[in-house]
Amino acid sequence: MLEPKKMKYRKWRKQPSKGVESRGARIAFGSFGLKSLGTRWIKASQIEAARRVIVRTLKRKGKLWIRIFPYKPITSKGSEVPMGGGKGSVSYYVFPIRPGRIIFELDGVAEDIAKKALEKASDKLPIKTKFVKK
């Protein structure tokens, strides 16, 4: 599972993610990509599930780049914990994605195989996505 090794602050505030992505909006490494069309938090487990689907579909051919990393800690308190008592412990990490961000990139495979792999991966993600070519 993806998570940061070291952080300056263990717990963050939530803060909304608004607008359209300007960084990471173009294909930089591969020939095909999966582009985000929505705004959500993508959990580390969802990124890993999508990565595994892509690797299995490619059958050890081609190259995969993951262009996002879950750096934002999300906290939660246990069930039946009374009000007060401070902020809960870190449960998982997310990547706050905005429209236009490239999530995955592929190279070294045919277009139909890449499209099939990235469509399967998009089923594992909580946002609408689009297949893009360089």
- pLDDT tens figures, 74-122: 999 999 999 999 999 999 999 999 999 999 999 999 999 999 999 999 9
Question: What's the pLDDT score for residue 1?
Answer: 83
CB 32 within 8 A of CB 104: no
pLDDT in tens, 25-37: 999 999 999 999 9
Dihedral of CA atoms 90, 93, 98, 104 in degrees, nearest 10, equals 180
pLDDT band, very low/low/confident/very high, at 60 (cuts 50, 70, 90): confident
Sequence spans of domains, the chain: 32-74+89-133
User: Residue 98 is which amino acid?
Assistant: R
- Please state the pTM of the whole predicted model: 0.92
Fold observed for domain 32-74+89-133: Aldehyde Oxidoreductase; domain 3 (3.90.1170)
Question: What's the pLDDT score for residue 30?
Answer: 95
CB 2 within 8 A of CB 69: yes
